[in-house]
A = this chain, B = another copy of it.
Amino acid sequence: MALEHAILVSLLEQPGSGYELARRFDRSIGYFWTASHQQIYRVLGRMERDGWIEVREVRQDGRPDKKVYSVAAPGRSALSAWLAEPVEPESVRHSLAVKIRGAAFGDPAGLIAETERHRAVHAERLAHYLAGERRDFPDSALLDAGQELQHVVLRGGIAYERMTLAWLDDVLATLRRLGGADPDTH
């Protein structure tokens, strides 16, 4: 389980409220670990109960008050312990791949629109990542260790999206070939 640890990393980079964390999980952290706000609030409650994080209530005018969380000493220890222990490499889960193999028993051509939709989503993600890279890591800037590490993770996201786009093009070519060469599978 890594949501607690992802939250610790995010709060170490910058303390924040549950709502702010949820937005980060739609952005930078979410590039490699997703979470909904309900999940975040629940885990924040448990982490506070366990003394991993501390909360400070912040009054705001014009908008609701918020609870700003920051990492306490036990949280730092928990993160260090987790960093030292091995985790198993994740396996992929692609329902689109299930669909592609399932198309052998249905309509290959019917999957083209769906594949194109996925392609558009990944193209958008890639553009988003590249914009973030240009913004946060301009050419030959001097970076500290934390920024270097953030950059190499972002490069991973970029490589993933580029690979996925190339593969989806391969999938589209295959589906079109099957649909064209074998038009009786309507």
Contacts and interface: CB of A to CB of B under 8 A. Distances in A.
Interface string A132-154: 00000000000001101110110
A64 B111 CA distance: 41
A102 B83 contact: yes
Chain A interface, DSSP helix/strand/loop, else mixed: helix
Interface residues of A, number: 71
A171 interface: yes
A68 B160 CA distance: 39
A106 B92 contact: no
Given A83-B110, A160-B163, 9 more contacts: A32-B97, A33-B94, A76-B105, A82-B102, A90-B93, A104-B149, A145-B178, A145-B182, A156-B170
29 contacts: A2-B95, A5-B98, A5-B102, A9-B102, A13-B101, A29-B101, A30-B91, A31-B92, A31-B97, A32-B94, A33-B93, A34-B93, A76-B105, A82-B102, A83-B107, A83-B110, A89-B96, A89-B122, A94-B156, A101-B149, A104-B146, A145-B185, A149-B174, A149-B178, A152-B171, A156-B167, A156-B170, A156-B171, A159-B166
